[in-house]
Structure 1
Amino acid sequence: MDSGADLSAWKGLIVEGSLTGGARNEVYRGRFDDQEVVIRRSDRSDDSLRWELDLLDYLLTRECRVPRTIPADDGRRHVKGWHVQNFVHGRHAARDDAAAIRAELVRVHKCTTEWPQRPNTASAKTLLSIPAGANDVDLEAMPSALAEKVRRAWLAVQPRDRCVIHGDPGAANALITAEGECVLIDWDEARVDDPLFDLKVTEAEELAALAWEIAVCWKPEPAYARALAEQLLTGEGGHMT
């Protein structure tokens, strides 16, 4: 753990060890007030992290299955990006759990049709008209052939800003409880966009989602993004320069 981490706002919080699965952010397991917790650090801006925590609070009121934020002793929900949530007991989703994941995603989509866009974030539709800006995706930072391929993948599905999407609802972020319910964790990539990016059905939607994953990971996870980019480009005989 970062030696500069200040978790003193949660008096008695104990860090027990790191957790796997956090590709961008530090994630730890711990105990607080005799309960198991997850301790996370986000690199998002204050406004962006507030949006995420507000969303989770709201989703809980709509009976969606998401982590619950545990405030610090003084009521703050995060301290310099560090925040604490309840530990969700469950196994990572498998192929047979697709229906449970879909049901939970649909529940989220239905109750967030009026939710505002995440600060410093743009949807695929918006990025079709602005190549860069005050958001977490910069298509101009990519090789031109790749950026064009990404745009073409999105144009093929004509995405619309409809609701909040999780953005990365794969097996690592979908936990199945002993009761068979799906709990969606790690909302770092959530934004307002088209639900097709969560619930891919057609080949065109699969390509559009792959294009988004490349775009959003290009800066924070370059090696991973470049590996995905080769899949997108070589599928039609292209090459990354």
Structure 2
Amino acid sequence: MALSSESVAAWSGIELVERLTGGARNEVVLARRGGRRVVVRQSGRSLPALEWELDLLDHLASHGIGVPRPIVTDDGRRHVDGVHVHEFIDGRQPRDRRDWRRVIDVLTTVHELTTGWPQRPGFASSRQLLSADRGGDVRLDAMPPEAVRAVRTAWQPVLTGPECVVHGDVNAGNVLVDGAHVSLLDWDEARTDVPWFDFASIPEDVAVPMDRQTLVTAGVAWEAATCWIPEPEYAARRLAELSNRSG
């Protein structure tokens, strides 16, 4: 559903301005309200999965983590049929090792704050997916058997430690740095899992808390599995990369 003025009628005074880049699976639009910039997003998740995400953002924000802060409707609702509005966050993308070390510190705090967090409705962790065949965007039941074996084998080495919330899509486009403060955007792919997946895409010149090749291989496998249905061409490239890394 394309966002329109009717989509945001429950929030008085919002004027849609332009679509923002980065929302590959969900429409994200810059808007204004009373001279202030806000962001409007249409989630494609089930309502229980969206409620889980908004509860998570409230929890993280209450502990000082930089995340999109929801703006409630005029009558106090956090979303209307999957449409939600949040405050605009200023900042720039991380550009050096100092920035990325701060990102790692924030991610580590997120993991500590959410150890034992309940699984997102409809999702599954990599541990669960060793026997289950679907969860969230992962559809192992749609992949060839040899591909399923490959991704499960790639996940095995990182299945250590307690589970917590992982952001699920850590990349420069989802991180904003403002001075010493780091904000993490777009929690659409967040789930409960082992924490190591969040470090798989950290730049190579920045130290990560596990063997880098193991992390990257597990991350490539996750992307192949989670993109198999919505982005099949990309998933096929990631599966070929996984084969090369494992060969």
Task: Report the TM-score, using the length of structure 2 for normalisation.
Answer: 0.89
Bigger Cα displacement from structure 2, 194-203 vs 119-128? 194-203
**C-alpha distance in 1 between matches for 2:118 and 2:3:** 35
Percent of matched pairs sharing the same residue: 45
User: Offset of 1:43 from its aligned partner?
Assistant: 0.4
- Amino acid of the residue matched to residue 184 of structure 2? L
**C-alpha distance in 2 between matches for 1:131 and 1:71:** 36
- Aligned match of 1:81: 82
- Aligned match of 1:214: 224
- Aligned match of 2:49: 48
User: Offset of 1:161 from its aligned partner?
Assistant: 4.8
Change (3 A) 1:214 1:19: same
Q: Is the 8 A contact 2:116 2:162 kept in 1?
A: no
Unpaired segments ≥5 residues, structure 1: none
Unpaired segments ≥5 residues, structure 2: 201-209
Listed as ranges, the matches of 1:144-183 within 5 Å are 144-159=145-160, 161-177=162-178, 179-183=179-183
Q: Is the 8 A contact 1:121 1:191 kept in 2?
A: yes
Listed as ranges, the matches of 1:67-106 within 5 Å are 67-96=68-97, 97-106=99-108
Root mean square deviation, CA, Å: 1.7
Secondary structure of 2:109's counterpart equals helix
- Aligned match of 2:131: 129
Deviation per residue, 1:151-178 (Å, 9 max, x gap): 100123334552111011111101111x
**C-alpha distance in 1 between matches for 2:94 and 2:39:** 19
- Amino acid of the residue matched to residue 198 of structure 1? D
Secondary structure of 1:124's counterpart equals coil
**C-alpha distance in 2 between matches for 1:80 and 1:161:** 34
- Amino acid of the residue matched to residue 184 of structure 1? L
Matched, 1:142 2:129: no
User: Offset of 1:80 from its aligned partner?
Assistant: 1.2
Q: Is the 8 A contact 2:3 2:27 kept in 1?
A: no
- Amino acid of the residue matched to residue 186 of structure 2? D
Change (3 A) 1:52 1:144: same
Secondary structure of 1:103's counterpart equals helix
Q: Is the 8 A contact 2:93 2:172 kept in 1?
A: yes
| Equivalences, count | 235
Bigger Cα displacement from structure 2, 210-219 vs 76-85? 210-219
Secondary structure of 1:210's counterpart equals helix
Task: Report the TM-score, using the length of structure 1 for normalisation.
Answer: 0.92
Counterpart of 2:115 (choices 113, 116, 121) is 113
